[in-house]
Structures are given as C-alpha cells and as structure tokens.
C-alpha cells in the first residue's frame, strides 16, 4: 500500500514541529539557568540593584519555573536589607537576612550583609564570622575581599 505524498509531508512536518518545540524548551531552560548564574554573579560583585533588576526581568520572562520566584524574593530582600543597614536600622535588616542566610543555597551577599548588620548591633565576632563565610562562598568576589580598608 502506497502512502499519499500529502500524508507523508504532513507526518514529516509534525515530527519537525515536535523536534523544534523540544529544542526551544531546552534553549529556554538553558537561557534561564545562564541568566540565574548572571544574577548570582552580580550578587557576589555587590551589585544588588542590578541583580534585583535582572531577577525581575527573569521572573517576567520565565514565570513558569519555580526557582525564579524564590530568586526574585531573595534579591528584593537583599536590596531592602542593604537599605536598612545604610539607614542604621540593623535589627530590622538582621530580621530579614537571618532566614536568607540560614538557607543551604544562600548567596554570599546574604552572609556579608548579615555580618554588617551584626557588627552594627555590636556583635562583632558573629559579624566577622558571617563576613568570613561570605568570603568562603565567593572567594574571588571583589565585594568580600579583605584589604587594608576593609
């Protein structure tokens, strides 16, 4: 029995469409992961507002992925905590940062900011320990380097 050329063309088109859709989904996931890594690099570099902006864009572009909402909440909390530290409201910043720093995948910036808040509250040893933890997590990050002025 011979297959009509129209049916053969339709089946080839269906297979091509399925392959193209699979490649598109794979590409979107790779792009989302790449952009997540960029956000984490910005956090490690101390560019909290840039990281927050990029996380917002990422959440807008890929809202169906579960981890993106958590990343967006983390960057927003870090920006808010940094503002509180600058305003000398360290106890409020500490309350926002402790749950973030307790997470297993906490960014180094959360530990660093928690250390700054603890130091403002007079808990110097605990603050320095948190800042050291940040340096362990991101040893090459310029924000966490120890130098003569840090």
pTM: 0.76
Whether residue 130 is contained in a domain is answered as: yes
- Residue range of the domain that includes 25: 10-142
In a domain, 134, yes or no: yes
Taking the C-alpha atoms of residue 15 and residue 54, their distance in angstroms, rounded to an integer, is 36
CATH of the domain at 39: 1.25.40.10
Q: Chain-wide mean pLDDT for the chain? A: 86
The count of domains in the chain is 1
Q: How far apart are CA 100 and CA 119, in angstroms?
A: 18
In a domain, 27, yes or no: yes
Does residue 148 lie in a domain region? no
Question: What digits encode the pLDDT tens for the residues 83-117?
Answer: 999 999 999 999 999 999 999 888 999 999 999 99
Q: List % helix, strand, coil for the chain (3-state, nearest 5).
A: 80, 0, 20
Q: What is the pLDDT of residue 62?
A: 83
């Amino acid at each position: 029995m011979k297959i009509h050329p129209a049916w053969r063309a339709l089946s080839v088109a269906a297979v091509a469409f399925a392959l193209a859709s699979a490649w598109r989904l794979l590409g979107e996931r790779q792009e989302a992961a790449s952009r997540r890594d960029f956000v984490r690099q910005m956090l490690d570099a101390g560019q909290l507002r840039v990281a927050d902006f990029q996380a917002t864009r990422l959440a807008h572009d890929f809202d169906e992925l579960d981890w993106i909402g958590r990343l967006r909440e983390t960057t927003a909390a870090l920006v808010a905590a940094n503002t509180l530290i600058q305003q000398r409201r360290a106890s409020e910043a500490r309350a926002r940062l402790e749950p973030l720093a307790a997470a297993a995948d906490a960014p180094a910036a959360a530990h660093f900011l928690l250390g700054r808040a603890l130091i403002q509250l007079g808990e110097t040893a605990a603050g320095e320990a948190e800042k050291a933890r940040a340096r362990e997590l991101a040893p090459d990050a310029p924000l966490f380097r120890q130098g003569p002025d840090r």
